[in-house]
Amino acid sequence: MGVTELDVTSEKILAAILKSLDDNKAEELVQIDLRGKTAMGDYMVICSGRSSRQVAALAEKLVDDLKQEYGVASKIEGKDTGDWVLIDTGDVIVHVFRPEVREFYQLEKMWLPAGSAVKAKPQ
């Protein structure tokens, strides 16, 4: 029995994303609850890879995992350069950065009140 679209919640997608990224050694995972703040999605996940190659590999593996587990066809941008890869799953937006690029853009500061970063823990 397969997973139907009705069974897939943003929370299930978020949990699968956090597990995939953690299993594949993403660093400094942060999740941000966007519900009530924007219509672009329910959650944002930000993480880092140590190199351009790892950033691209994390993104590719995540997209594959979501497609296999939930049939989610994610949109992906930036994989060719591997500096900043954006994965749009619909309800959850994922940013995978090289550390220097993440430090430069500081997305966490834009979306979180000062001092409220939530380190993501896979469930």
Residue 16 lies in a domain: no
Percent of the chain with pLDDT over 90: 74
Mean pLDDT of 5-34: 92
Q: Does some domain include residue 117?
A: no
Residue 115 has pLDDT above 60, yes or no: no
pTM reported for the whole predicted model:
0.87
pLDDT (tens digit, 9 = 90+) per residue, 48-67? 999 999 999 999 999 999 99
Asked if the structure places residue 51 within a domain, the reply is: yes
Rounded Cα–Cα distance for residues 20 and 107 (Å): 21
Q: Kindly state whether residue 15 falls inside one of the protein's structural domains.
A: no
pLDDT at 102 over 60: yes
When pLDDT is cut at 50, 70 and 90, the band that residue 123 belongs to is low
CATH number at residue 82: 3.30.460.10
Among 83, 98, 87, 35, CA closest to 65: 87
In the chain, the number of structural domains is 1
Domain that holds residue 65: 26-111
Grouping H, G, I as helix, E, B as strand and the rest as coil, residue 45 is strand
